[in-house]
Chain A
Amino acid sequence: MLLLYHSGQWRGTVNIVLKTILSRVFLAMITLLAVSMFIFWAAEVLPGDIAARVLGREATEEAKQAFRERLNLDRPVHERYLIWLSGAVRGDFGHALASQRPISEVIGPRLKNTIFLALYAFILYVPLTVFLAAVSALNRERPLDNTISLLTLIGLSLPEFVIGTLLIYIFAVNNPIFPVMANVQRAKNFWDAIRMTTLPAITLTIVMAVYSVRMLRDNLIEVLESDYVRMATLKGLPRWRVVFFHALPNALVPALNTMALNLAYLIGGVVIVEQVFVYPGLGTQLVEAVFLRDAPVIEAIALLVSLIYISANLFTDIFSILSNPRLRSG
C-alpha cells in the first residue's frame, strides 16, 4: 500500500479511500456518542426517582438521600452523564444497584461466555451457510434447491425460543446427548463447556443461516453467470475450484454488508437463546437487570452491545470500500 502510494499515480486514489474511511470512522464515533446519551437518558433519566424505585416507597428520606449521594443522583443530569461517560470510556461503569459489585466484575465473565457462544456459533455458521448456498446455487430450481428454500422459509418463521426448545426436546429430553441447561460456569473442562454450549450454538447458527443462505445463493447464481466464471469453466478448471475460488469471493462481499445489518437481529437472538438455555451470558444478565431495574447494568450492556453493532457495521463498510473500486469515491 505504501509503495503504491509513493508511485504517484495511486496517490489520488489512496487519498480518497483514506478520506472516506476516516469520515466513516468519525461518523461512527459521533453516532456512538449520541447513542450513549440516548441510553443514559432512557435508563436513568426517564424512569424518574431511582432511589424510591430501588429502595421502595417505605424507605426513609435519609436512606434515599444517602443512596442519591452515593450514585451522584443529587447532581444535575448533564454532570451525571459526563461522570458516567468518562468512567465508561475507561471501562468503569460504576456499581450494580442489586449486588453492589463493580459492573466490570459482574459483566466480565458474562461477556466472556457470550463471546465463547458467539464464536462457536460463527464457526458452525460460516461453512454451513457457504455449503448450503453453494449446493442451492449449483442445483438451481431443482428439488434440492427447492427443499433448501423451503427449509429456510420455515426457519425464518420460527422464533429462536421455539427452535431452541425444539432442540432441547429432541437432543436433551428424548435423546439425552446434551444437557437441558447450559451452565458453562460449572463446566469441568473445555470439552464439557463445548458440550454444554452445543445446543445454544446450533440454535444461533440456524437463526443466522436462514437469513443468509438465500441471499448468498442469489449472489452466487449471479456471479456464476458472469463472463469470468464462464471463462474459468471453459479453461477446464474443475467445478468445485470455479465455485469456491472464483465465484464465492465475489458473492460473499455483498452478502457481508447485509449480514452486518442482520447482526441487529442476531444480538436479539443471543439474548433469547441464552434465556432458553439459561446460559450465563450478557443476554441473561440484561434480562435480569431489566427485571431488577438495575440502571447501571442496563446502561453498560446496552452501550457495549451498541458498540459491537456499530463497529461491525463500520468494519464491513470499510471492507466494502476497500474491496469495491466503485464505492471508493463514495
Chain B
Amino acid sequence: MVPLNYYIVLSAILFTLGVVGVLIRRNALIIFMSVELMLNAANLAFVAFSSVIKSFSGQIFVFFVIAVAAAEVAVGLALIVEIFKSKRSIDVDQMSSLKG
C-alpha cells in the first residue's frame, strides 16, 4: 500500500502546478485548466485521507467537488466563448477594461 505521504506530496505538487499555471499563463483556457488541476489536487487529498480514516465522507465531498467543477466549467467556457466573440482573443492581459 502506498503511504499517505506520497499522496499528499503528489497533491501538493499538483496544486502548486495549478497555482503557478494560473499566475504565469496568459491564455484563459490554460488558466482554466490550471484551476481544474488545483481542484483535482484537492480531490486527491480528500480521497487519500478518506481511505486512511475509513470514512466515506471524503469521497462524498469529492463527488460534490466534481459536480460543482462541471457546472463551473460550463459557465466558464461559455464566458470564454463570449469573450472570444467580442475580442477575438482570450489573452487575459487584454481584459483590462475595468482597470482603475
Q: Bound pair: A and B?
A: no
